[in-house]
Each structure stands twice: as structure tokens, then as C-alpha cells.
Structure 1
């Protein structure tokens, strides 16, 4: 099945450019087209964890993966740290917000609370395990 033009537009990634400020009095260019250049050092990464830290001048974003642990203590491997200005962060926030809104319009709400995402059978199994208490090692 072929996608309509509208579906294709919705499926495309949102690109936001962090432009340097225009000189005072200069008009902002409309419809600037971004040209991608060769990216020999670019590597794709997946992250299921992030942190955000801010100073007076910039925001540091750390991305990584949870690699194990238990309910009390998780281990995280940080793969990337990116520093952005507050202006870039605000544009990023708007772009992420639009992208998630478009996703939710097409596929439904993204539920952040894992308890609400569990199937009833999984909820029952967890409740049963909690009622039995911690497992004791065999003697």
C-alpha cells in the first residue's frame, strides 16, 4: 500500500536548525534549506535513558542505556553527552513536542507509567509475587 503525500509528510522526521542569531536589523531568512554534508564520524546510537543538567550558560544532555541492576539500583552506561544553548534547547523541546503529538494522533497516547502499560495477566503475576514475599534461597 502506497503512502499518501500527507502520510509521507507526517512520517518524515522534524528537522530544526540551531541558527546563529542574525545581525541586528537583518531579516531572518524564510524557508532556509539545510544541506547535509558528509558525516564520516557519525554513529547511530539508541538510548533508553537520559539526564538533563543545566548551568547559567548551557544545558548538558546525557544519553545512555540501562544495563542491569535491580529495583533499588540501576546501572547506566552513558554513550553521549551533548551541550546546547538554552535557545537550542527550547527549539528542541518544541520539535520533540510536535513529533510526539503527531505520533499520538496516529497511534494513541504514549503512557509513561509502566504500571498502566502492563497487560492484566502481568499485573496479576506481579501482585501474586509481591504477596508471596521475597524468594528464599534453597538450603
Structure 2
């Protein structure tokens, strides 16, 4: 795959992953706002745990979907032979860990780097989302 194809395909997958993650976050906000308002009126540990737990599940779901999407793209491009190596490589790149035991060929190196960019961006968004939710749910003195 040429340079511009790698950039194009990598950008498309990155945009799709970002849209999925942001869509999940936006989908969760009405539910979380409703519970957070009740939480502000009267603090409840159970309610706080439910809100934070739900927010965490939303974030985790987004990350899992994205890792699978990258893995499927590696299989589709025949960059990996089998689901397990594709998932392993996808997760390793997405978390920017990149052990180096599995690598892409020169014709897909740039494409693979987009997974790392995706992971860094979305981990930042996820952190901001969770910090915002926790800040709304916990009493002022606890955060």
C-alpha cells in the first residue's frame, strides 16, 4: 500500500473510531445528567457508584470496539494471519505499548501508527469524560 493510501485508510479508521467513542459518550450524557442531578440534591454512595460505573462501562465499550475495528482492518488488509495476532497487535498499538514482537511490513507501517494516534487521543477524551463525571457526582470536599 502506498503512502497516500495508508494515510487515507488510517484517517478513515481513526475518524470512525473517534465517532464511535464520541457517540457513546454523547449517548450516555442524558442518563448521567439525570442521575448526577439527583446525586447533587442528596449524596448517595450507591448512586455515585452507579454513575461512575456506567461511565466506566461506556468508556471501556468504546475502547473495546475500537481495538476490534483496528484488528479487523489488519485482517482485511491481510497484514496479520489470524484473529489472535490481529487483536494482540491492535491492542498493543492502540495502547502505544508496541512490544515489537509483531510488526507490519513497510507497506503498512504508517497505517499501523494511526492506531497509536487513535489510542492516545481517545484515552485523553476518556480521561476528561471520567474526571468530569466524577467531579459532578462526588460532593465538593471529596474531589
What TM-score, normalized to structure 1? 0.28
Query: Rg larger in 1 or in 2?
Result: 1
What TM-score, normalized to structure 2? 0.28
Per residue, is there more strand in 1 or in 2? 1
Higher RCO (C-alpha 8 Å, min separation 6): 2
